[in-house]
Amino acid sequence: MTTDLEIARAATLRPIAEIAERAGIPLDALEPYGRFKAKIGTDFIRAQAGRPEGALVLVTGISPTPAGEGKTTTTIGLGDALNALGTRTMIALREPSLGPCFGVKGGATGGGRAQVAPMEEINLHFTGDFHAITSANNLLSAMIDNHVYWGNALDLDIRRIAWKRAIDMNDRALRLGTFGLGGVANGFPREDGFDITVASEVMAIFCLARDLDDLRARLGRIIIGQSRDGRAVTAHEVKADGAMAALLRDALMPNLVQTLEGSPALVHGGPFANIAHGCNSVIATRLGLQLADVVVTEAGFGADLGAEKFLDIKCRSAGLAPSACVIVATVRALKMHGGVAKSALGAEDVAAVRRGLSNLERHVENTRKFGLPVVVALNRFTGDTEAEIAAVQEAMVALGTRAILCTHWGDGAAGAEELARAVQGLIAGGTAQFRPLYPDDMPLADKIGTIAREIYHAAEVSIPPALVTRLKRFEEAGFGRAPVCIAKTQYSFSANPALMGAPSGHVLPVREVRLSAGAGFVVAVCGDVMTMPGLPRVPAAEGIGLDAEGRIDGLF
Amino acid sequence: MTTDLEIARAATLRPIAEIAERAGIPLDALEPYGRFKAKIGTDFIRAQAGRPEGALVLVTGISPTPAGEGKTTTTIGLGDALNALGTRTMIALREPSLGPCFGVKGGATGGGRAQVAPMEEINLHFTGDFHAITSANNLLSAMIDNHVYWGNALDLDIRRIAWKRAIDMNDRALRLGTFGLGGVANGFPREDGFDITVASEVMAIFCLARDLDDLRARLGRIIIGQSRDGRAVTAHEVKADGAMAALLRDALMPNLVQTLEGSPALVHGGPFANIAHGCNSVIATRLGLQLADVVVTEAGFGADLGAEKFLDIKCRSAGLAPSACVIVATVRALKMHGGVAKSALGAEDVAAVRRGLSNLERHVENTRKFGLPVVVALNRFTGDTEAEIAAVQEAMVALGTRAILCTHWGDGAAGAEELARAVQGLIAGGTAQFRPLYPDDMPLADKIGTIAREIYHAAEVSIPPALVTRLKRFEEAGFGRAPVCIAKTQYSFSANPALMGAPSGHVLPVREVRLSAGAGFVVAVCGDVMTMPGLPRVPAAEGIGLDAEGRIDGLF
């Protein structure tokens, strides 16, 4: 079989200036990074303010399974297909993280004929945005410890410094350590750890900031920890926000690349979808809407996490109103939701598909609660049988929507043409009436309850009294209007990853609440959330290297 | 007074393609990074192999003092002046490290009218090379701990893992810690620490590698630690070298920028000058020589460290033969070597200048031991008096050379014209007969002794018996032909930073010896060597930020 890397290498890319020009971006607005990547200049972006905006289409998915769904691939395929049909379309994606590239996940640039390119460069350093975010995060850490070292005028309690260091690497050894050892010259020993860069609040801020001024203000609001008398201390108070903004200035310009079929794609930012909101940058999405008739974007994990956060956090904060939502499913993943083991997916099992459809159906119904029309993209795999596909399609018709078979992985734009026509229809229909799930002025605990009830179908939320008090404190401190960002397993509507399908009546246990004051949301941690992955027994890195022509091999 | 940043901003930069074209680099060999920075493609570099090479001129200095000397500024001014005189000249510099930018040092892009630009970008992320080096360093660390976690097939002794993590930040809290805490899932607790990226062996390797293949081979030879039975274990054995090379592939292409007067400058790599050799990359230097009639480059610290390592490590390893050497001095710094405190530098003190000349004289004599003709650049400051200047000039004439007054900081190329003519004369004279200080086949301990005697004028070297044994082991392991890299204070010819001027008869105490097997040298640590700086009480970062136009302010 041809690999994604081979397909990507076989493609002839056009100069990025040509892609930009077709997207309405003039040459002098480009900051090229090599020949096939460019950043889009701040002056040009400012000049687009007030332009009428195109339609926003969100691609989300069923609850993920090890069988894979193909959300990024579908986002790219749909964008290519819309462009092929003559609708001026931009694709807006998240940037891949370096860490998982060396682990098991491989790259995050799509697959088959639905890829953004150049894949090796996008998957590795790209234009350096994540390195800039890592540097800004760690400059703040260095300035915190330096503040304590030189007298601690803010009376920071070193046991209560919440700000962690960051690295764009899967490195479990850095999860927890005692730093500052070695004597007086090295400062005060304290516990700290590293999160992977995508889990840093700087990443979430980067992706929610409207512009440089907003970025700087949000960075300043970051709460780094508490003083000995319990006062929240901010990044502004240790005077780190200016230098952090300087480190991020160039990174904040969105990155333009192309799909293998020549569609323009903005690939910018990439926060975790558990403790953060999991979408590409507001700046990129907005610019896309100002330049194109349609922007196709994606959200992390399944619709219960990704779409909910996209809609309740990103769209609310940025004032975006999507026109339609695509939910990606596969027969294989539905079978897993229906109880089939990954090793048994090869055999036809229509009954299992029918059982697993409960998961898809709930995501469709949930998404409608936001006032959005929905269509399902059924991402076809070779082993899918006609009967299995028919079962999905019938169920979706019964729900008043359609499951459209897509083959963009193998066929490119042509494989998503029917999906594109359906999306065109939803946009033209104008039925979208976007509304967030809960109002700004609902108490924080009730916001968690609303999501748990409406989206997860939980019977109740368990919030320990200490956390109820903490939420009240957040409200008293002026953060009561913030949306909530629920960090829980992506594999289930519940907090138990083993409960596939569409569980109901469960209890959502809130184990921790955190205030991401710079990002502007309150995180409710429900279950174990890993903010620093580890490498597997045989990391992908072992197979990565340079071939005889100096090309990068082993990325997938 | 106009600041460096203001002068830099007032300059009109030319598109980098224009600078490249004048330097003989065609457009299709460029990988642009924004409009004023570009990397030079590997294919073009390969195609230059075998071309006749221009003359190499090294700019080095007296032993540094807090008064400042202006080595980078002189390198740039001399390059500009040579170009102004019609000699096709390339400048080859080190890249600045992000860490010191936020500390006290400020940027490292020259000053006044002798700067490389765009200074904010070069000083911050530039083209991401240091981020790539940091990532490669830390991928190796993650793979080491991951190897131990998954069974430790190589039987690594976790107490003897020598490979440290790296970060491009001044952060004293990271010097020493206990990582891997928190239980079974996080691995085995062990001591580790972070070096600043410029101190990583990956940086030294990057700067000594001839090409990608050599880079990969050197990365594989890195010794990461020992097994329980005392065997040296390499990066190749944990299978990290391929992925590390992939991470470094693009970074290895040299960066082209311009001076404020439009000279082409290759700014590439930047290893520490204590535990490493302190010069820009071999790839950039060689490419410059293939493209230009003259390459002007600099080495770190004073000539005892920087020039010695440039000549004995870099030139030896790369087969480079310099044509001339410029030693930078200032009246102010000579007065400090003559015993004047920094606060008293304002007053004329010819006697102090005469005393301090002992430092300059020894550097001149030392450099001649390598077979190189020498000229002194006397970098003028406004407070210097005629009598002080005359004292320096007379002393240099007495030594058979000249001290040429330079004012490139304020006057640009015109201020270094006389220096440029002198350098032209040295090159045209053809008197250079470059020879390293010691032959490859001298025993390692004798190499240390030779440098101590010939360059530092030490009476003896003190090597504890355990380290003598260790050096013998390195020789038995096949590293006996390696050059030695002495890490000691840059402020004195001795290992005592307080001994200014030209001390003799001292003892050089070797406290530690390390094998940098990938870089290909043996490090002899003589005194305290700091591989992770801290931030000062008021870090420069506090004053760095964005102005109303979104420009970066506070870099100096």
Q: What are the backbone angles phi and psi of residue A549, rounded to the nearest 5°?
A: -90, 5
For A423-438, letters b (16+ CB in 10 Å) and e give bbebbeeeebebebbb
- Is there a contact between B141 and A171 if contact means CB atoms under 8 Å apart? yes
Nearest to B374 by CA among B405, B357, B399, B395: B399
Nearest to B204 by CA among B536, B502, B518, B418: B518
Handedness of CA A448, A453, A457, A460 (dihedral sign): positive
Is residue B412 within 8 Å of B80, Cβ to Cβ? Answer: yes
Locate the chain B residue with the closest alpha carbon to A128: B128
| Residue range B15-39: mean pLDDT, rounded | 96
Q: Give the per-residue pLDDT at A370.
A: 98
Active site residue B105: yes
How many angstroms separate the CA atoms of A336 and A349, rounded? 10
Nearest to B280 by CA among B39, B45, B96: B96
Is residue B85 within 8 Å of B70, Cβ to Cβ? Answer: no
Residue B106 predicted with pLDDT over 70: no
Q: Which of A407-421, A526-540, B138-152 has the weakest average pLDDT?
A: A526-540
- Is there a contact between B182 and A169 if contact means CB atoms under 8 Å apart? no
A533 preceded by a cis bond (ω within 30 of 0): no
Residue B105 predicted with pLDDT over 80: no
What is the share, in percent, of chain B residues with pLDDT greater than 70? 99
The angle formed by the CA atoms of residues B120, B124 and B127, to the nearest 5 degrees, is 100
| Residue range A207-233: mean pLDDT, rounded | 97
The distance of Cα A24 from the centroid of its chain, to the nearest Å, equals 26
Query: Model confidence over A48-71: pLDDT tens digits?
Result: 999 999 999 999 999 999 877 899
| Residue range A218-241: mean pLDDT, rounded | 97
Q: For strands B545-546 and B552-553, give the pairing.
A: antiparallel
Name the strands in the sheet holding B223-227, side by side, starting at the edge strand that comes first in the sequence: B156-161, B223-227, B232-234
| pLDDT class of B7 with cuts at 50, 70, 90 | confident
How many angstroms separate the CA atoms of B159 and B288, rounded? 44
Active site residue B273: yes
The angle formed by the CA atoms of residues A362, A367 and A370, to the nearest 5 degrees, is 140
| pLDDT class of A548 with cuts at 50, 70, 90 | confident
Query: Model confidence over A470-498: pLDDT tens digits?
Result: 999 999 999 999 999 999 999 999 999 99
| Residue range A264-268: mean pLDDT, rounded | 98
CA distance A248 to chain B (A): 10
Nearest to B142 among A31, A125, A535 (CB): A535
Nearest to A68 by CA among A270, A332, A348, A306: A332
The verdict on whether residue B47 carries a ligand-binding annotation is no
Q: What are the C-alpha distances in Å from B202 to residues A185, B108, B270, B520?
A: 26, 21, 11, 12
Name the strands in the sheet holding A156-161, side by side, starting at the edge strand that comes first in the sequence: A156-161, A223-227, A232-234
Q: Identify the residue whose tokens are 């368990």.
A: A462
| pLDDT class of A430 with cuts at 50, 70, 90 | very high
Q: Give the per-residue pLDDT at A284.
A: 98
| Residue range B200-222: mean pLDDT, rounded | 98
Residue B302 predicted with pLDDT over 80: yes
The angle formed by the CA atoms of residues B336, B340 and B343, to the nearest 5 degrees, is 100
Is residue A58 within 8 Å of A310, Cβ to Cβ? Answer: yes
Q: Give the per-residue pLDDT at A419.
A: 98
Is residue A119 within 8 Å of A4, Cβ to Cβ? Answer: yes
Q: Which of B194, B409, B493, B521 is catalytic?
A: B409
| Residue range B4-26: mean pLDDT, rounded | 92
Locate the chain B residue with the closest alpha carbon to A28: B35
DSSP for B270-316, written as a single string: ---SSSS-----HHHHHHHHHH-SEEEEE-SSSIIIIIHHIIIIIIH
Three-state SS at A414: helix
Q: Which of A102, A409, A474, A479 is catalytic?
A: A409
The verdict on whether residue B70 carries a ligand-binding annotation is yes
Q: Give the per-residue pLDDT at B368.
A: 97
The verdict on whether residue A42 carries a ligand-binding annotation is no
Cβ neighbours for B5, distance < 8 A, ≥ 6 positions apart: B119, B120, B553, B555, B556
Three-state SS at B86: coil
- Is there a contact between B142 and A33 if contact means CB atoms under 8 Å apart? no
Q: Give the per-residue pLDDT at A76.
A: 98
Residue B176 with chain A: CB contacts under 8 Å: 181-182, 186
Active site residue B381: yes
Residues facing A56 on adjacent strands: A295
Query: Model confidence over B476-507: pLDDT tens digits?
Result: 999 999 999 999 999 999 999 999 999 999 99
Q: Give the per-residue pLDDT at A1.
A: 60
Residue A420 predicted with pLDDT over 80: yes
Nearest to B423 by CA among B450, B451, B441, B402: B402
The verdict on whether residue A68 carries a ligand-binding annotation is yes
Residue B102 with chain A: CB contacts under 8 Å: 139, 142, 243
How many other β-carbons are positioned within 10 Å of the β-carbon of residue A88? 16
- Is there a contact between A175 and B169 if contact means CB atoms under 8 Å apart? no
What's chain A's average pLDDT? 96
CA distance A176 to chain B (A): 5
HSE-CB at A57 with a 13 A cutoff on CA atoms is 35
Locate the chain B residue with the closest alpha carbon to A124: B247
Query: Model confidence over A161-205: pLDDT tens digits?
Result: 999 999 999 999 999 999 999 999 999 999 999 999 999 999 999
What single letter denotes the amino acid at residue A37?
K
ipTM metric: 0.96
Active site residue B301: yes
What single letter denotes the amino acid at residue A68?
G
- Is there a contact between A545 and B243 if contact means CB atoms under 8 Å apart? yes
How many angstroms separate the CA atoms of A371 and B454, rounded? 82
Is residue B221 within 8 Å of B234, Cβ to Cβ? Answer: yes
| pLDDT class of B292 with cuts at 50, 70, 90 | very high
How many angstroms separate the CA atoms of A254 and A92, rounded? 10
Task: Tell me the angle at which helices B241-248 and B129-149 cross, rounded to the nearest 10 degrees.
Answer: 160
Q: What is the largest CA-CA distance in chain B?
A: 72
Nearest to A179 among B33, B173, B553 (CB): B173
Query: Model confidence over B327-369: pLDDT tens digits?
Result: 999 999 999 999 999 999 999 999 999 999 999 999 999 999 9
What separation, in Å, do the N-terminal and C-terminal C-alpha atoms of chain B show? 13
Residue B548 predicted with pLDDT over 90: no
| Residue range A397-401: mean pLDDT, rounded | 98
DSSP for A475-497, written as a single string: IIIIITTS-EEEE--SS-SSS-T
Active site residue B73: yes
Residue A174 with chain B: CB contacts under 8 Å: 179
The verdict on whether residue A71 carries a ligand-binding annotation is yes
What separation, in Å, do the N-terminal and C-terminal C-alpha atoms of chain A show? 13
What is the share, in percent, of chain A residues with pLDDT greater than 90? 93
How many angstroms separate the CA atoms of B405 and B393, rounded? 9
Is residue A85 within 8 Å of A95, Cβ to Cβ? Answer: no
Residue B554 with chain A: CB contacts under 8 Å: 242-243, 246
How many angstroms separate the CA atoms of B426 and B324, rounded? 6
How many angstroms separate the CA atoms of A407 and A393, rounded? 15
| Residue range A337-342: mean pLDDT, rounded | 95
Between A3 and A538, name the one with better pLDDT: A538
Q: Give the per-residue pLDDT at A3.
A: 81
Query: Model confidence over A360-396: pLDDT tens digits?
Result: 999 999 999 999 999 999 999 999 999 999 999 999 9
Q: Which of A37, A39, A71, A488 is catalytic?
A: A71
Which runs of E-coded beta strand occur in A408-517? 460-462, 484-487, 507-509, 512-516
How many angstroms separate the CA atoms of A273 and A203, rounded? 11
CA distance B174 to chain A (A): 6
How many angstroms separate the CA atoms of A374 and A57, rounded? 10
What's chain B's average pLDDT? 96
3-state SS, one letter per residue, for B179-217: ECCCCHHHCCCEEECEEEHHHCHHHHHHHHCCCHHHHHH
The angle formed by the CA atoms of residues B389, B390 and B392, to the nearest 5 degrees, is 70
| Residue range A278-285: mean pLDDT, rounded | 97
Q: Best interface-test mutation with A: which of B161, B175, B528 has the largest number of A CBs within 10 A?
A: B175
| Residue range A107-132: mean pLDDT, rounded | 93
| pLDDT class of B1 with cuts at 50, 70, 90 | low
DSSP for A52-72, written as a single string: ---EEEEEEESSP-TT---HH
| Residue range A232-256: mean pLDDT, rounded | 98
- Is there a contact between A250 and B125 if contact means CB atoms under 8 Å apart? yes
Nearest to A146 among B34, B176, B539 (CB): B539
Q: Best interface-test mutation with B: which of A168, A247, A248, A283 has the largest number of B CBs within 10 A?
A: A247
Active site residue A22: no
Three-state SS at A243: helix
Q: Give the per-residue pLDDT at A529.
A: 86
- Is there a contact between B246 and A186 if contact means CB atoms under 8 Å apart? no
Q: What is the largest CA-CA distance in chain A?
A: 72
The verdict on whether residue B65 carries a ligand-binding annotation is yes
Which runs of E-coded beta strand occur in A200-329? 223-227, 232-234, 255-259, 264-267, 294-298, 324-329
